[in-house]
């Protein structure tokens, strides 16, 4: 790679940011004994239990991949399957107490690390970045995989 003035195009910046955030997510997961997919599953379930179809959509996984992920997480005591109160043929996936505690620890550590990434930005720049990225996320209807810090704290207290 050659020298550059620190500027890059939008696509390059977004792709490299994705790699950066994924690396933080993976490192935090490893330290908590989680795969990135298990970390995502636990973070999604912090908000509420979900049916398998909903989880497949939110996590972007094929049903067979999701079933394996839920099976492994269930064997590790992190999630449980429970009857869906609205459909007796379906199940919902919920955090166990152990899974809820681990989800909260993983979530808090991952948030702390990601929050440290834009250290060269002042408060106004951080707010502007959050506003712009938030618009991109909302415009593209990205599923709620990660809660806001205050939402996660309130959700964790419910479990």
C-alpha to C-alpha distance for 123 and 46, rounded to whole angstroms: 28
| pLDDT score for 151 | 55
> Would you list the domain boundaries of the chain?
21-114+141-158
Name every residue whose Cβ is closer than 8 Å to that of residue 72 and which is 6 or more positions away in sequence. Answer: 38
| pLDDT score for 86 | 85
| pLDDT score for 147 | 66
| pLDDT score for 157 | 46
Class level of CATH domain 21-114+141-158: mainly alpha
| pLDDT score for 4 | 57
Name every residue whose Cβ is closer than 8 Å to that of residue 90 and which is 6 or more positions away in sequence. Answer: 51, 52, 53, 83, 84
pLDDT tens, 71-100? 999 999 999 999 988 888 889 999 999 999
Residue ranges in the chain whose pLDDT is less than 70:
1-5, 145-159
| pLDDT score for 142 | 77
| pLDDT score for 5 | 64
| pLDDT score for 131 | 94
Q: Write down the mean pLDDT value for the chain.
A: 87
Give the rounded distance of the alpha carbon of 18 from its chain centre.
13
Ordered DSSP codes for 10-75: HHHHHHHHHHHHHHHHHHHHHHTT--HHHHHHHHHHTT--EEHHHHHHHHT--HHHHHHHHHHHHH
| pLDDT score for 150 | 57
C-alpha to C-alpha distance for 49 and 95, rounded to whole angstroms: 7
């Amino acid at each position: 790679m050659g020298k550059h003035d620190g500027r890059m195009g939008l696509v390059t910046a977004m792709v490299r940011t994705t790699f950066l955030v994924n690396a933080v997510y993976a490192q935090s997961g490893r330290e908590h004994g989680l795969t990135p997919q298990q970390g995502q599953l636990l973070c999604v379930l912090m908000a509420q239990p979900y049916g398998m179809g909903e989880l497949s959509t939110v996590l972007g996984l094929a049903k067979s991949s999701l079933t394996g992920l839920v099976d492994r997480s269930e064997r590790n005591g992190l999630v449980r399957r429970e009857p869906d109160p609205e459909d007796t043929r379906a199940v919902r996936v919920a955090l166990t107490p152990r899974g809820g505690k681990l989800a909260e620890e993983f979530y808090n550590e991952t948030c702390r690390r990601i929050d440290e990434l834009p250290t060269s930005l002042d408060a106004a720049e951080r707010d502007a970045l959050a506003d712009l990225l938030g618009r991109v996320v909302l415009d593209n209807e990205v599923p709620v995989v990660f809660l806001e810090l205050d939402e996660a704290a309130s959700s964790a207290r419910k479990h």
